[in-house]
Amino acid sequence: MTINTRKTQLAIAIAATSLLAACGGDSDNDNNPSNGSEQSATLPLTRLATIPLGAELTGLEVTEEGDAFFNIQHPADSLPDAENKAAIGAWVGANINELPAGITPITVPDPTSSDAETTRMALGSYQVLGREGYNYRGDLPFGLGHITVLDKNEASVLQSNDPDFNAWIADGENSGYLFTAWEDRPGGVSRLALSKTDDGWTVNGALNVDFSGVNGTMINCFGSVSPWGTPLTSEENYMASEVSATAQWNQAGAGGYPSYNDVKNIQTYLDGTFPNPYDYGYIVELTAPTGTPQPVKHFTTGRMAHENAIIMPDEKTVYLTSDGGSQGFFKFVADDAQNLSAGTLYAAKVTQDAGTDNATTGFDISWIELGKSDNATIETLIRSFDGLDENDFVEGDTNYISQQQVDDYAAAYVAGGDNSALDPIAFLETNAVAMAMGATTEFNKMEGININPAGAASGEVPYMYVAMADVAGSMADGTGDIAIDANRCGIVYRFDLETDFNVSRMEPAVVGGPYDGGATGDKCSVDNIAQPDNLFVMNDGRLLIGEDSGNHVNNMLWLYTPNAAE
């Protein structure tokens, strides 16, 4: 099939999706067909769940047996007791690997009803495995989601209500461990020991992963499980997104995300030691997951606002998304399979198709090499910034890597020669180096990235999907490499996987909208996605999409069935 033919077929399928979404009406009557209660079984999108008011749906995870987990992050404080607490939970009564066609979609609740205050499923039910503060018979003395000094359960730093990534690590036919990331400043990861019966899941024990050996973690966001069975948690360090932000790390009273108060929380976690900014913003692998988990920070994956990393079946190629505005899209290729400690980091350069229609415009991709290094070499540079604090801050200057150093590194690397003699700045100021080398740093709110590992390996599901929650900002400013029409409801893009697991093309697959910025309730159609975040690619090629949006009153879980024409 030629690229032009594929573009035409994609445009037809996407236009059909957008038209169906545009036909949706009011969402304040559960019996009104316009809210999805009579949604056709042939629609490419099926609403599988709605979650409580104010909450974000996170942590989509499906086991090989078809059991599924997801979380309820930061529900509204005004909800009834229990429902106003963040939850880790399981979708029970449904085999996700065998979801039937023609599922009757769950309706959109009246926002003033009790249905809007809880989690509702189109089939099966939602079982809460734990809420913030649960102590599991004393296993977690401060409670689930609580961050303590040096992970010693001796003094409190904060109670998080932001459970994000889930990773399932089996340890038997009907038992295993569910790892859950807590997206806070500092962050953390909990582990629940679970066993399955005909009635659902039983929690048999709980612990918090000890990150004290790597100076803690920050803003643990979405993640994945490596092909060799280790959880990968992502540090979404927004301050790593630009040199000017890192420069204010040790400025007393500085704002931003993380703010100075967040930095002080990390100092509390470190029992008084002022933190080094270059310790945060990486992919962290949890080795020995069924024993005593041991975290390994892979500095080789670059320092950025990591949303997610997904490893290809070659066990060497890793794609990395960075959340926030004006961000790059990255690839890491390890020197050796099953070992992320050394390799080469790349950033994408995209060339846009003619036109600006966000529903049909795709991009060709090439890759710019940013650097080669290993964890030990990078950490040597990181340790050179230890010992700095507020007393060292100088207004108008920086104690950390400067933009001039970034520019000098980029010029030297592009010029060639003995690049091994250069300090590995690309791994500490990754987005800035990518920009300096001419890569595309215009992506906005690049969220979950995923494949179906078995399908990608066999070629039966040869796609990678990426969620772009908000197509706006530098993607829609009319300048640069990306200049498409804004879509505040978001787009899920699809990438064809080549035989060596390279990607050289991205095209819109699921396009949100229409959008009504003046609406007092749902700003995006309730019959379509709003600001997609978590993604899970099923064995049959269908896609689960979880929302992180203020553009739907109740966030939703969707099932996308690719059109046969695609």
Three-state SS letters, 450-468:
ECCHHHHHHCCCCEEEEEE
Instruction: Give the rounded percent of residues in the chain with a pLDDT score beyond 70.
Output: 92
Indicate whether 109 belongs to any domain: yes
Q: Provide the pLDDT for residue 4.
A: 38
Report pLDDT digits (tens) over 487-498: 999 999 999 999
Indicate whether 370 belongs to any domain: yes
Query: What residue numbers bound the domain in which 223 lies?
Result: 3-560
User: Which has the higher per-residue pLDDT, 209 or 2?
Assistant: 209
Q: Provide the pLDDT for residue 374.
A: 98
Identify whether the C-beta of residue 452 lies closer than 8 Å to the C-beta of residue 539. Answer: yes
Q: How confident is the model at residue 20 (pLDDT cuts 50, 70, 90)?
A: very low
Identify whether the C-beta of residue 527 lies closer than 8 Å to the C-beta of residue 36. Answer: yes
Indicate whether 566 belongs to any domain: no
Indicate whether 463 belongs to any domain: yes
Q: How confident is the model at residue 22 (pLDDT cuts 50, 70, 90)?
A: very low
Q: In this model, does residue 3 exceed pLDDT 60? A: no
Quick one: 389 exposed, middle or buried, by C-beta within 10 A (0-12, 13-18, 19+)?
middle
Instruction: Give the rounded percent of residues in the chain with a pLDDT score beyond 90.
Output: 90
* Residue type for position 364: D
Q: In this model, does residue 29 exceed pLDDT 50? A: no
Average pLDDT, the chain: 92
* Residue type for position 400: Y
d(CA 490, CA 524): 10
Helix (H, G, I), strand (E, B) or coil at 19: helix
| Mean per-residue pLDDT, 332-357 | 98
Residue of 272, 277, 273 whose CA lies nearest to 249: 277
User: H helices within 187-333, ranges in order?
Assistant: 243-246, 260-269
Q: Provide the pLDDT for residue 8.
A: 36
Structure tokens at 388: 């700095």
Indicate whether 382 belongs to any domain: yes
Residue of 56, 51, 61 whose CA lies nearest to 162: 56
Structure tokens at 445: 């709110």
Indicate whether 427 belongs to any domain: yes
d(CA 55, CA 32): 24
CATH of the domain at 51: 2.120.10.30
Q: Provide the pLDDT for residue 47.
A: 98
User: What's the distance, Cα to Cα, between the start and end of the chain in Å?
Assistant: 11
Q: Provide the pLDDT for residue 120.
A: 98
Q: In this model, does residue 32 exceed pLDDT 70? A: no
Indicate whether 565 belongs to any domain: no
Residue of 489, 545, 544, 494 whose CA lies nearest to 512: 489
| Mean per-residue pLDDT, 253-274 | 96
Q: How many residues are present in the chain?
A: 566
Residue of 96, 118, 99, 100 whose CA lies nearest to 109: 118
Q: How confident is the model at residue 563 (pLDDT cuts 50, 70, 90)?
A: confident
Structure tokens at 10: 């994609």
* Residue type for position 419: N
d(CA 186, CA 157): 8
Q: In this model, does residue 28 exceed pLDDT 50? A: no
Half-sphere exposure in the Cβ direction for 480 (13 Å, CA): 19
Q: In this model, does residue 331 exceed pLDDT 60? A: yes
The 10 Å Cβ neighbour count of residue 390 is 15
Query: Domain total for the chain?
Result: 1
Q: How confident is the model at residue 5 (pLDDT cuts 50, 70, 90)?
A: very low
H-helix or E-strand spanning residue 412: helix 403-415
Q: Provide the pLDDT for residue 43.
A: 61
Report pLDDT digits (tens) over 441-469: 999 999 999 999 999 999 999 999 999 99
Q: In this model, does residue 26 exceed pLDDT 50? A: no
Q: In this model, does residue 314 exceed pLDDT 80? A: yes
Indicate whether 474 belongs to any domain: yes
Burial 258-274 (b: 16+ CB within 10 A, else e): bebebbbbbbbbbeeeb
| Mean per-residue pLDDT, 66-77 | 98
Report pLDDT digits (tens) over 89-126: 999 999 999 999 999 999 999 999 999 999 999 999 99
Q: In this model, does residue 355 exceed pLDDT 70? A: yes
Report pLDDT digits (tens) over 395-412: 999 999 999 999 999 999
* Residue type for position 141: P
Residue of 471, 526, 554 whose CA lies nearest to 45: 526
Residue of 65, 129, 57, 126 whose CA lies nearest to 95: 65
Q: In this model, does residue 36 exceed pLDDT 70? A: no
100 Cβ contact list (under 8 Å, min separation 6): none
Check whether the bond before 258 is cis (ω within 30° of 0). Answer: yes
